[in-house]
Amino acid sequence: MFRKDFKSKGYTQVKSSDRKKLRQQFQQTYPSIPDDILSLTIPLGKGEDFTSCKLLLSTGDDILVYSTNKIPWFFIVEDIKTKTERILPTVYLLWKYPDLLKLKFHTHKHVFNYLMNGADLMLPGLLLPPGGVTLQTFRHVQRDELCSICLDDNRYPIGIGQTTMDGEDMYMSGMKGRGVVPLHIYQDALWNIGPRSEVPYEKEQRQLFVTDQEKINENTEQACAQASNDINSLNLNEESISASPSNEVPDHPESMDEILDTIFFYLCQRKAKSYELPLLASHFYTIMQDCVPGLTLDLKLSSHKKFSKFLQYQQQINNLISLEETKPGVLAIISFNLINNPQLDHFRTPAWLKNYLTKASNTPAATTESDQPMIKYTFPTITELWKTNSRVNEILGCSTSTHYLRPDEIRQAVRSYVMKNNLNQEKQVKLDPILSRLLKTTNQSSMLVSWNELNTAVFDAMSPSTELLFAHLEQPIRINGHLQSIELECIDRNRKRQTFIRHLDIYQIDLNELCKRIRQGASVSAVINEADEAKRTGRIIMAQGNQVSFVTRLLKDDYGVPSKHIKEI
C-alpha cells in the first residue's frame, strides 16, 4: 500500500470532539489496548498535538493518517467489501504495544527483502509451531483478518497484513500459496514520514499456535502408561550395574566452575602462545565465549560471580597467568606461565568438550555470531535536492506539481530562462516582472543583478531535501531538509565520561553491530538508548569513556563514512 511515494495535503489539528469519537472507536476496535498507550496515541489534553493528514496514494485511494508530534500512530481506510472504515495501526504503535493485534505470524529474516519489493507473504515462508500443523493449528484464523508480521523470534512486528484464507483452507492447501497480503511494513513510505526508528527486539515468549490438544493429551497418557509398564518390568541388579563399567561418554559438565576451568586450561594449553600481550580481560572473556559454539558461559552460575575474580583465582591458585591494571579499572593479562606448571601438564581435554568441538567442526551452521561474516555496510549515495514551488515553477520550466531538482539542474534551468527571454546584459541579468517578484523589487526596468544574486534568490525560495539511495533498497529514501551529520560528543556526567553517537538511524547503520565493534575494539561498555523524539535524533549509542577518536576511525575505515558526514562536538 505504501511501497511507492504518496502526496500529502498537510497536517490539520483534530478537534477535541473528534478526538473523543476516535478514542471510542479505537477502544471498540482494539479493546485490549492499555490506557497509557491510548492516551499517547489519541491525547485529549488541551494544547497536546494530535493531527490528521490526508494522503493520496499511487493507487488513487485517499486515506487519513493520525499523528502526535509527527509520529504516525494509525490510519483509516475504507473496507471495499463492507464499505466501512477500518482503523489500522502503524509499526510505530505496534512497537509500543506489540500485542495489539490478536493474530501474529512469524517468518524468516531473509523474507523481508521480498516483502519490501512488493511480494505477498507465502505460507511456506511461515515459521510453524514445533508440534507440526494439524486441522486445529490455525482454527481461529479468519479470512481477511488483520494480523502482525514478525521476523524470526522477535515479538515486535515489522508490518501488518491481511490474511487471504481462513485456517482450514491453510491446512487443506498443504501450507502452499499466498497467506498474507502486506498493507504496511517497516521502511515503506508511511514509516518514512515518522522518526524512522529501527525495529526493537525482544524474544517472543507466548505460544501463538498449538496443535490438536486432545491428540497431544492422548499421546501423553499413552507414553506415561508405557513408561510405567517399562519401569515395573525392569529387573535392576545393583551388583551388575556396579560391575559393568559405563561406556557412555558424559555429554554435559557438572557445574559452571568446571566449564570455566576446562575452557581456560584448554586455551592455555592450545592457543596461549599465539595471543598478543597484554591481553585485555574483556577480550579474553570474548575468546572463551567463542571457544565452544553451542555452550553458554554464565558467570553468575559460578562461584566466582565476576570474570575478574575468576582470573585472580587462576593467578593465585593455579599460577597460570599474571595480571596487571593497564589503567584504572582495566584489567589485562600480561603473561602466561606455561612452563613447569603441574596443573597444566596433567590437564587432558575431557570427553564432553571433545564432543562439543567435534559437533562444531562437523556442523557449519553451528558457528557463533562472532564467527559469521558480517554483511559489509555500503554507504548510501547521497543526492542534494531542492523542492520547487509556485514562486520558481515558471522560471524553472516546471508544471504546477512539486518537483525535486539537483543544484546543477536548477542553475541550468535559470540560465535557459534568462537566455530565452533575452535578459542577459554584460554578465548581468536584467529583471523582468517574474524575476522582480522573486527578488521582491518593484523597479525592474533599470535593475540589473549578477548571476550569483539570481541563483541565490532562486535557491532561497525553495526548500532543501536529501535523497539517500541504499544498495539493499529498491527505492531511495527522501527526507526533508539538509542531511544531519553523525554527531560524536564526549560528556562528563557524575564524574564519568561518556561518548554519545547520534543520527545513525538516518544512515541505516546496524547499531547492534557497531556496539559490538566498540566493545571489542575499545574494551568498553556500549549500549543503545531509545530515540529522543523531541530532538528527532533517532536512537543513540552511549559508550564508556572518551571514544570519539576511536569511533571516528571505525566509521571511516570499516563503514566508509566520509569525513564531511562526521561531526565531532
CATH number of the domain encompassing residue 108 = 3.10.400.20
Q: In this predicted structure, which of 62-71, 469-478, 529-538, 557-566 has the lowest mean pLDDT? A: 529-538
Residue 223 placed within a domain:
no
Q: Residue 217, class by beta-carbon neighbours within 10 Å (0-12 exposed, 13-18 middle, 19+ buried)?
A: exposed
Asked if 260 and 395 sit in the same domain, the reply is: no
CATH of the domain at 344: 1.10.10
> What are the tens digits of pLDDT across the range 445-490?
557 888 888 899 999 988 999 999 888 888 888 888 888 899 999 9
Mean pLDDT value across residues 138-162: 90
Q: What's the confidence (pLDDT) of residue 441?
A: 74
Q: In this predicted structure, which of 61-65, 290-294, 408-412, 540-544 has the lowest mean pLDDT? A: 290-294
Asked if 340 and 412 sit in the same domain, the reply is: no
Provide the pLDDT confidence category of residue 212 given band limits of 50, 70 and 90: very low
Helix (H) or strand (E) holding 453: helix 451-460
Provide the pLDDT confidence category of residue 240 given band limits of 50, 70 and 90: very low
Residue 263 placed within a domain:
yes
Q: What's the confidence (pLDDT) of residue 237?
A: 45
Mean pLDDT value across residues 295-300: 73
Asked if 32 and 4 sit in the same domain, the reply is: yes
Return the higher-pLDDT residue of 232 and 335.
335
Residue 243 placed within a domain:
no
Mean pLDDT value across residues 247-267: 74
Asked if 121 and 177 sit in the same domain, the reply is: yes
Mean pLDDT value across residues 66-82: 86
Q: DSSP letter string over 221-259?
A: HHHHHHHHHHHHH----HHHHHHSPP-PPP-S-S-HHHH
Asked if 14 and 106 sit in the same domain, the reply is: yes
Query: Highest-confidence range of 50-54, 251-255, 271-275, by mean pLDDT?
Result: 50-54
Q: What's the confidence (pLDDT) of residue 294?
A: 65
Asked if 7 and 115 sit in the same domain, the reply is: yes
Q: Which domain holds residue 560?
A: 484-568
- pTM comes to 0.41
Q: In this predicted structure, which of 306-320, 342-356, 531-545 has the lowest mean pLDDT? A: 531-545
Residue 283 confidence (pLDDT) above 80 = no
Q: How many structural domains compose the chain?
A: 4
Mean pLDDT value across residues 386-398: 86
Mean pLDDT value across residues 156-160: 94
Return the higher-pLDDT residue of 567 and 211.
567
Provide the pLDDT confidence category of residue 373 given band limits of 50, 70 and 90: very low
Residue 5 placed within a domain:
yes
Q: What's the confidence (pLDDT) of residue 307?
A: 84
Residue 161 placed within a domain:
yes
Q: What's the confidence (pLDDT) of residue 162?
A: 92
> What are the tens digits of pLDDT across the range 87-103?
999 999 999 999 999 89
Mean pLDDT value across residues 30-52: 89
Asked if 9 and 122 sit in the same domain, the reply is: yes
Q: Specify the amino acid at residue 248.
A: E
Asked if 405 and 462 sit in the same domain, the reply is: yes
Residue 248 confidence (pLDDT) above 60 = no
Residue 309 placed within a domain:
yes
Residue 254 confidence (pLDDT) above 90 = no
Residue 506 placed within a domain:
yes
Beta-carbon neighbour count of residue 377 at 10 Å? Answer: 20
Asked if 488 and 351 sit in the same domain, the reply is: no
Asked if 156 and 77 sit in the same domain, the reply is: yes
CATH of the domain at 445: 1.10.245.10
The Cα–Cα gap between 195 and 509 comes to 15
Helix (H) or strand (E) holding 405: strand 404-405
Residue 229 placed within a domain:
no
The Cα–Cα gap between 78 and 87 comes to 9
Q: Are 560 and 379 in contact (CB under 8 A)?
A: yes
DSSP state of 441: -
Q: Are 97 and 34 in contact (CB under 8 A)?
A: yes
Last residue of a domain, one of 199, 232, 264: 199
Nearest to 181 by CA among 229, 147, 204, 225: 147
Mean pLDDT value across residues 159-172: 88
Indicate the length of the chain as a whole number.
Answer: 569
DSSP state of 564: G
Q: In this predicted structure, which of 54-58, 242-246, 404-408 has the lowest mean pLDDT? A: 242-246
3-state secondary structure 146-212: EEEEEECCECCCCEEEEECCCHHHHHHCCCCCEEEEEEEECCCHHHHCCCCCCCCCCECCCCCCCCC
Q: What's the confidence (pLDDT) of residue 375?
A: 59
Asked if 53 and 177 sit in the same domain, the reply is: yes
Last residue of a domain, one of 436, 467, 498: 467
Asked if 87 and 179 sit in the same domain, the reply is: yes
Last residue of a domain, one of 439, 467, 495: 467
- Per cent of the chain over pLDDT 70 is 85
CATH of the domain at 508: 3.30.780.10
- Collapsing DSSP to helix, strand or coil, 119 comes out as coil
